[in-house]
Amino acid sequence: ARQMKVDLSKVTGTGPGGRIVKADVLKAAKEVKMKEAETKEKEKIEIEREIIKKRITPEILETIPLKGIRKTIAERMYKSISEIPHFTLYVEINISNLKSLKDKLNKETKGKKISYTDLIVKATALSLEKYPILNSTLKDDKVIIFKDINVGLATSMEDGLIVPVIFNANKLSLEEIADKRVDLVNRAGENKLELDDVSGSTFTITNLGMFEIDYFSPIINFPEAGILSVGAITKKPIVDKEGKITVEPMMKLGLTLDHRVLDGVTGAKFLQYLRKILQEPNKLV
């Protein structure tokens, strides 16, 4: 019994007068082996769990608390994506004429450099005049369409993202838009923007083209109804109306909208109108 690790005090005898017989010892020994096997299996499982836990838990490099502007951004982004049903439409634009206009204007003007962003701001503002439903917000089950067209420019800062505003962009010249953009971006970089500079936008534009991002679907700047994303300029072979292949500068735009306020057809018409202005940009001057 000792060799089999059987504790006779715990064995119930089945022999005459309750005596412990060989069969009782063998049965008890079998039960001991089964318990030992179960214990070993449990220990093995526990060891494996610890190994897996260590394997799938990455080592922490740094813990950064959300605070200040980053916390505000997180709250607004969550509110937007939680409350607004987003959908995005994309369009590709031949900007050869737009590039020619930009180069021409920058040769004619001294000190004031017109950027693609300035041209897109102006074109977007004019498109919002044509389709004012995009220049709106949803509040208390009512769509509020704004008369003023105030275009926000998503601008990256060291600790987050901020949206300075070009007010009444549809009424400004390209030079005025350029001046305001440069001033806002410079003051944003110096952390000198006032509250009035970042309040009151009715539609937002975000541009990642300078980072060679072809296209993307941004989150709407709550509580607006839409946001326009601008991608990188890339040269592509294009077949013209006569069947000839030429290499042209192309740009992709993305229009993300609030599906509660408008549907895809209206968004598509807006993009068609915006593309027409950018491809035939004389209206911008």
Rounded to whole angstroms, how far apart are CA atoms 234 and 92? 11
Per-residue burial over 133-170, b = 16 or more CB atoms within 10 Å of its CB, e = otherwise: bbbbbbeeeeeeebeebbbbbbbeeeeebbbbbbbebb
* Residue spans of beta strands (DSSP E) within the chain: 86-94, 136-139, 142-145, 151-153, 155-157, 160-162, 165-166, 203-207, 226-239, 245-258
Task: Enumerate long-range contacts of 3-6, CB under 8 Å, 24 or more apart.
Answer: 4/28, 4/29, 4/32, 5/29, 5/32, 6/32
CB-side neighbour CA atoms (13 Å) of 135 = 23
From 7, 159, 240, 263, active-site residue: 263
Q: How far is CA 166 from the centre of its chain?
A: 23
Residue 259 annotated as catalytic: yes
Residue 183 annotated as catalytic: no
Active site residue ranges: 259, 263
